Amino acid sequence: MTTTQMTLADAELPKVRVDILPLLIVPVLALLMLPLVGSFPTWVTLTVAGLAMGMMVFMMASGLTLIFGLMDVLNFGHGAFVSVGAFTGTLVLLPMKNWVEADSVLMNLSVVGLAIVLAMVVTGLLGWAFERIIIRPVYGLHLKQILITMGGMIVAEQLIHVIWGAEQIPLPLPETFRGAFIIGDAALEKYRLIAVCVGLTVFITMFLVLNRTKVGLLIRAGVENGEMVEALGYRIRRLFVGVFMAGSALAGLGGVMWGLYKETLTAAIGGEMTVLVFIVIIIGGLGSVGGCFIGAMLVALVANYAGFLAPKLALVSDILLMVTILLWRPQGLYPVAKR
Amino acid sequence: MLRTLLSGDLPRSRMLSATLLVVFIGLALAPFVVSGARSLNVAATICVFVVLVASYDLLLGYTGVVSFAHTMFYGIGAYGVGLALTGMGPSWTAIAVGTVGALLVSLVLALVIGLFSLRVRAIFYAMITLAVASAFAVLASQLSDFTGGEDGLTFKVPELLQPSFHLLEATIMGRAIDGKLITYYLLFFSALGLFLFMLRIVNSPFGRVLQAIRENDFRAEALGYRTVIYRTLANCLSALIATLAGVLMALWLRYVGPKTMLSFEIMTDILLIVVIGGMGTIYGALIGSALFILAQNYLQVLMGQTSAALSGVPFLANLFHPDRWLLWLGVLFVLSVYFFPTGIVGKLRAGTLAKVDRRP
Amino acid sequence: MSETLLQLTGVHTHIGEYHILQGVDLTVPKDGITVLLGRNGAGKTTTLRTIMGLWHASRGSVSFNGSDITQAPTPDISCAGIAYVPESMGIFSDLTVRENLYLAARQGEIDEKRLEWIFGFFAALKKFWNQPAGTLSGGQKQMVAIARAIVEPRKLILIDEPTKGLAPAIIQGMIAAFRELKATETILLVEQNFNFVCSLGDTVAVMDGGRIVHSGMMSELAENRDRQHKLLGLSLDSHQ
């Protein structure tokens, strides 16, 4: 017995294959652009701007890709959560105007923090209701999912008009978030740096949760084989509702951040991002959080570099990027193994 | 005769037949029964939308593929004619060149997108088309030297179609026989022809294969049908017909612009109409378009009155604001996906079937 | 015969428009290995999936340990004490061997003593403890799948064709492992490989056309070559 076991154990040493190529794209792209852009300070500004935008897109896209991976549900109405989040943020930011206008980092941070918390709670709860009412009856039916979530998006956008009116709402940045740090000749806008910090925090938190906690492991296991997770005695439905709520809340966070970045709000703010978010999750490989992160950075960086180097090209840069990536890896950067 | 025209796919419901007949006669006689430019405009829009929506139904209802690029093909048709008439002057040759050029562009695009993404999953295709269509809309509105940008292009049509042209000195039933009327009937008969053509397609062996793929693509593949090829063909066909719808609309409006031709709102309108009218029936496009365009133009007036009456109540007044009519349609849309996925046509037909069943 | 642990009575299961199980009556006694034999398409996998609640019976009943689980959801069935090793093994390839087992340990932590016991017959798992399960070989993946089912004590373990696609040397190792398991666990084992199970099984049932066509003691069937031939037909020879 032991002899056979030993040969079994020694046979075919598995090769650990870490797929690092996609990880390299972002830094390589940034370095390649340096000579093209020409000036180092401009390059720094462009790169930071790209990373900041990428982080905000990542916040909106990460929930969507997980929801798709876990339950095979593609929510075409995900953008609605972005809009609702941004508009909910105004419930704090507009009445507490003097906190926003105060020249105090602490007051500014706490008012934005409060807006974010409220937005995430509201979008999270909305996500729970959306999952119950809109999504649950159409599990496994892709066609209906697309139609029904589109419908949900239309209704949500219209309801925002009903509640907040049809006019666009100005959303000024807090006083101390304005302006830029000047390092050498490079100008780094403060708010962009904040966005990078928030985005990195979200990414690292997500990474830790998915790799170090039981819930996170269950989510990753569920993405690959939900049936087996159930057979091990876990209710994948409950897991899914949780992920749906978290994903919606993240979209709400992204909405507040994005709204402050744009400094004006329209109900279509989320719908406008839908296309970009889709491109990001396609590039990343549907269902992969890591791929989604790289995809978001890539799309945003390419858009920023292209906007500087060839403004006309920037209009279609994300599509071209998507086509290029899909020609290289038809399933996206990190295809998710599926049952 | 009628059976042949309708390719053997009869309405199969008395209510449905009656409604279809009303819409048909209404559209056929529209210039004589309604007065005013606006009403005729409504009728013409219905004609174009019947074609546009039915061509979308070909894809969604009969193949089970969701595309968000339908307005792109519609826009290609419109811009094709618009650009040709602007560049070559108002002649029939320009229209022909524009149409053929637009059809070719649509065909190539539909083929590329189809072969690129239809082999994957329906959901993937929906996302890719959404991305491509939005990029196209951005291009059309930004390349202003070429397309007129956000403002679009206004152009002249051949003399025969110009409103100032009069075919006869006299009037018929109080209606001058002018270019506008001729254009309307050009639209009407083109729409009728295309509609009957699509009925023929879905009732042909080709259409049956499409439906088999929709029901169970795995089995259709096992039976030896190359599903990718069939889906791509359906995609191309649907794109070409949408292109023609765009051509018709451009001729009617004598104008093309990104808002009227390429905006995402039109795409959602098409989706709403096809689902509410009835997917996979072709007739649903006719009934849905008529109802939708009428509602768009006249329901808003009603809502305006309701809203005014409720002006004391802040939230309710907003709820019934004329601009919020899409809210109610959205709700109707969601409800119909759940409760009557076959739409109005399916509902009417089911009523008839139930009656037939009850007969001893 | 010892007491009954699992009892299927007149179970019918439909998958889509196909009527797969057409009245299955199956009894699994407590302790030891019950083998479910039958050719491809006989309904063995469907039987296991129906027990596990992954597909639900349209008629008939499944009772386990005295309670009815016919329509119970899969997680409840799992918590009632049934573990499942599917034909596809269902390992989480993205997760390490440790994480795969950790998820199977519903108590929260993996019991060290039990783990040592498992390492005793699945030594490879110890070696590749922190490797992503997807990088393992087929036989090693099978070990992960089975280890997941036994990482905590369960009342019944359903195992679907564990030898499928494995090399003969590895199958020998599996037989040894099953000998070890059999001392303490109750197993319902689906197989096509008669040689693998004839020495392992205590009781046996043979399926054909969605029904149980024979059930009895394994020792009887192992001796009666005529009956083997009649019940198992070509599927027997093809594996020899």
Average pLDDT of every residue of chain C:
89
Candidate from B131, B319, B341 with C-beta closest to A278: B131
Distances (CA, A) of A154 to A81, A161, A173, B269: 12, 11, 29, 11
* Residues A11, C90: C-beta atoms closer than 8 Å: no
Distance from C-alpha of B295 to C-alpha of B327, rounded to nearest angstrom = 13
Could you tell me the two tokens for B213?
Answer: 């793929």
* Max CA pair span of chain B: 70
State residue A257's pLDDT score.
Answer: 95
Quick one: pLDDT band at residue C78, thresholds 50, 70, 90? Answer: very high
pLDDT exceeds cutoff 80 at B123: no
Helix (H, G, I), strand (E, B) or coil at A139: coil
Per-residue pLDDT of C94-120, as tens digits, reads: 899 999 999 999 888 899 999 999 999
Predicted confidence at residue B352, as pLDDT, reads 67
C neighbour chains, 3+ CB pairs within 8 Å: A
Q: Minimal Cα distance from B121: which residue of A?
A: A142
Q: Flag whether pLDDT at C197 surpasses 70.
A: yes
What does A272-295 look like in DSSP terms, one character per residue?
Answer: HHHHHHHHHHHHH-TT-HHHHHHH
> In a mutagenesis test of the A interface, which of C78, C92, C119, C150 is the best target, namely the one with the most A β-carbons within 10 Å?
C92
Q: pLDDT band at B250, cuts 50/70/90?
A: very high
Task: Flag whether pLDDT at A338 surpasses 60.
Answer: no
Instruction: Name the nearest CA neighbour of A174 among A97, A264, A274, A259.
Output: A97
Whole-angstrom distance, CA of residue C169 vs CA of residue A204: 45
d(CA C124, CA C141): 10
Q: Is the pLDDT of residue B359 over 70?
A: no
Residue C74 to residue A4, Cβ atoms within 8 A: no
* Highest mean pLDDT pick, A8-22, B217-231, B320-334, C38-52: C38-52
In this prediction, residues A286-309 reach a mean pLDDT of 92
Task: List residues bridging with C21 in a β-sheet.
Answer: C13
E strand intervals along chain C: 4-15, 18-29, 32-38, 59-64, 67-68, 82-85, 156-160, 186-190, 203-208, 211-217
CA distance B343 to B357: 21
Query: Which residue of chain A is at minimal alpha-carbon distance from C125?
Result: A9
Q: How distant is the alpha carbon of residue C150 from its chain centre?
A: 12
- For the segment B17-31, the average pLDDT, to the nearest whole number, is 90
**pLDDT band at A175, cuts 50/70/90?**
confident
Q: Please determine, for residue B65, whether its predicted confidence score (pLDDT) is greater than 90.
A: no
Per the CATH hierarchy, to which homologous superfamily does domain C4-81+156-238 belong?
Answer: P-loop containing nucleotide triphosphate hydrolases (3.40.50.300)
Helices C112-121 and C138-150, packing angle to 10 deg:
150
> Three-class SS of residue A103?
coil
Please say whether the beta carbons of A252 and A119 come within 8 A: yes
Helix B264-277 to helix B37-63 angle, to the nearest 10 degrees? 70
Cα of B105 to nearest chain A Cα, Å = 18
Kindly report the length of chain B. Answer: 360
Residue B259: other Cβ atoms inside 10 A: 13
> Contact at 8 Å (CB) between B246 and B252?
no
pLDDT tens for residues A25-41? 889 999 999 998 888 99
- Give the model's pLDDT for residue A2: 41
Interval C228-234 mean pLDDT = 72
Write out pLDDT tens, residues A277-295: 999 999 998 888 999 999 9
Task: Specify the range with the lowest mean pLDDT, choosing from A16-20, B35-39, B50-54, B356-360.
Answer: B356-360
Rounded Cα gap, residues C54 and C72, in angstroms: 10
Q: CA-CA distance, B65 to B230, in Å (whole number)?
A: 12
pLDDT digits (tens, 9 = 90+) for B150-193: 888 899 888 888 888 877 777 777 777 788 889 999 999 999 99
Q: State how far the Cα of B94 lies from the Cα of B85, in Å rounded to an integer.
A: 5
Residue B99: C-alpha distances to residues A52, B235, B301 (Å): 45, 19, 37
- Is A310 an 8 Å CB contact of chain B? no
Instruction: Kindly list the residues from chain A whose CB atom is less than 8 angstroms away from the CB atom of residue B121.
Output: 142
Q: Domain map of chain A by residue range?
A: 50-328
Percent of chain C with pLDDT over 90: 57
Judge: A6–C123 Cβ closer than 8 Å, yes or no: yes
Cβ distance C144 to C124 under 8 Å? no
Query: Can you tell me the distance from the alpha carbon of C39 to that of C48, in angstroms, rounded to the nearest whole number?
Result: 15
User: Which residue of chain A has the CA closest to B123?
Assistant: A142
* Chain B residues with CB-CB distance to A287 below 8 A: none
Instruction: Report the residue of A228, A236, A334, A339 to disrupt the C interface, i.e. the one with the largest count of C CBs within 10 Å.
Output: A228
Distance from CA of A170 to the nearest CA of C (A): 45
CA-to-CA separations, B38 to A181, B31, B35, B42, B248, in angstroms, rounded = 58, 11, 8, 6, 17
CA distance B67 to B60: 8
Q: Kindly state the average pLDDT of the residues B34-56.
A: 91
Residues 6+ apart with CB under 8 A from A98: none
Cα distances (angstroms) measured from residue A53 to each of A223, B160, C165:
27, 53, 49
Q: Which helix (H) or strand (E) holds B78?
A: helix B70-88
CB B286 within 8 A of CB B54: yes
A290 to chain C nearest CA, in Å? 13
Q: At B173, phi and psi to the nearest 5?
A: 50, 40
Q: For residue B119, give the chain A residue with the closest CA.
A: A330
Q: How far is C41 from chain A (nearest CA, A)?
A: 21
Q: Compute the distance between CA of residue C168 and CA of residue A111 in angstroms, rounded to an integer.
A: 68
Whether A233 sits inside 8 A of C94 (CB atoms) is: no
Chain A nearest-CA distance from B323, in A, is 9
- Does the pLDDT at position C238 exceed 50? no
* pLDDT (0 to 100) of residue A82: 95
pLDDT digits 0-9 by tens, A67-83: 888 888 888 889 999 99
**Cβ contact A155–B327 (<8 Å):** yes
Give me the pLDDT at residue B120, please: 64
Q: What is the largest CA-CA distance in chain C?
A: 50
In chain A, what residues touch B330 (CB-CB under 8 Å)? 151, 154-155, 158
Question: Is residue A158 less than 8 Å (CB to CB) from chain B?
Answer: yes
Please report, rounded to a whole number, the percentage of residues in chain A having pLDDT higher than 90: 47
Instruction: Say if the Cβ atoms of C94 and A220 lie within 8 Å.
Output: yes
Name C159's bridge partners. Answer: C85, C189
Which residues in chain A have their CB less than 8 angstroms from residue B269's CB? Answer: none
Q: C74 and A227: CB-CB below 8 Å?
A: yes
Using CA atoms, how far apart are residues A66 and A82, in angstroms rounded to an integer? 16
Residues of B within an 8 Å Cβ radius of A: 60, 64, 66, 116, 120-124, 126-128, 130-132, 134-135, 138-139, 142-143, 264, 268, 271, 275, 315, 318-319, 321, 323-324, 326-327, 329-331, 333-334, 337-338, 341
Cβ atoms within 10 A of the Cβ of B59, count? 25
Residues of chain C contacting A, Cβ within 8 Å: 52, 54, 73-75, 78-79, 83-84, 86, 88, 90-95, 99, 102-104, 106, 121-124, 126-128, 131-132, 134-137, 139-140, 148, 169-170, 172-173, 176
Does position C32 have pLDDT exceeding 60, yes or no?
Answer: yes
Could you state, in order of their start, the residue ranges of all structural domains in chain C? 4-81+156-238, 95-153
pLDDT 10s digits, A187-212: 889 999 999 999 999 999 999 999 99
Strands A264-265, B175-178: pairing is: unpaired
Cα gap A133→C156, rounded to integer Å: 38
- C78 and A1 within 8 Å at the Cβ level: the answer is no
Is A5 an 8 Å CB contact of chain C? yes
Record: contact C84-A231, CB cut-off 8 A: yes
Contact B122 A155 (CB under 8 A): no
pLDDT digits (tens, 9 = 90+) for B126-154: 888 888 898 898 888 888 888 888 888 89
What pLDDT does residue C196 have? 85
Which whole-number Å values give the CA distances from B63 to B60, B227, C37, in the listed order? 6, 10, 42
How high is the pLDDT of residue B7? 76
Residue among B120, B327, B334 whose CB faces A159 most closely: B327
Q: B50: domain CATH number?
A: 1.10.3470
* B196 neighbors B20 (Cβ within 8 angstroms): no
Query: Which residues of chain A make contact with C172, given a CB cutoff of 8 A?
Result: 4
| Alpha helices per DSSP H over A15-104 | 21-37, 40-71, 78-93, 97-101
Neighbors of chain B with 3 or more C-beta pairs under 8 Å: A
Average confidence score pLDDT of chain A: 87
Given an 8 Å threshold on Cβ–Cβ distance, is A5 in contact with C84?
Answer: no
pLDDT value, residue C64: 94
Q: How many CB atoms lie within 10 A of CB C6?
A: 22
Q: Which of C75, C93, C136 sits opposite A224 (nearest CB)?
A: C93
Q: Which of C196, B132, B200, B217 is nearest to A318 (CA)?
A: B132
Q: Nearest Cβ partner of B333 from A151, A161, A282?
A: A151
Taking only the tens place, the pLDDT of each residue in A49-58 is 999 999 999 9
Residues of A in contact with C128 (CB under 8 A): 14
Contact B135 A159 (CB under 8 A): no
Q: Which chains touch A (3 or more CB pairs under 8 A)?
A: B, C
Read out DSSP for C100-159? HHHHH-TTSS--HHHHHHHHHH-HHHHHTTTSBGGGS-HHHHHHHHHHHHHSS--SEEEE
Q: What is the Cα–Cα distance from B213 to B228, expressed in whole angstroms?
A: 10
Residues C12, C201 contacting (CB under 8 angstroms): no
Which CATH code fits A50-328? 1.10.3470
Q: A181 to chain B, minimum CA–CA distance in Å?
A: 33
Residue C34: pLDDT over 80? yes
Q: Is the pLDDT confidence value at A8 over 50?
A: no
Which of B271, B327, B329 shows the shortest C-beta gap to A147?
B271
pLDDT tens-digit map of C21-31: 999 999 999 98
Whether the pLDDT of residue A12 is over 60: the answer is: no
CA distance C163 to C89: 11
**Structural domain boundaries, residue B307:** 2-358
Mean pLDDT on C115-126: 91
* Cβ-proximal residues to C94 (8 Å cutoff; 6+ apart), any chain: A220, A221, A223, A224, A337, C132, C133, C134
Q: Do A225 and C90 touch (CB under 8 A)?
A: yes
Look at A275 and B124 and tell me if their CB atoms are within 8 Å.
no
Q: Give the number of domains in chain B.
A: 1
The 10 Å Cβ neighbour count of residue B164 is 8
Q: How big is the CA angle at A320 (ends A315 and A321), to the nearest 5 degrees? A: 110
Fill in the DSSP letter of residue B323.
G
With the CA atoms of C126, C127, C128 and C130 taken in that order, what torsion angle do they form, in degrees rounded to the nearest 10?
A: 70
Q: Greater confidence, C198 or C26?
A: C26
Q: Of C81, C60, C79, nearest to C71 (Cα)?
A: C60
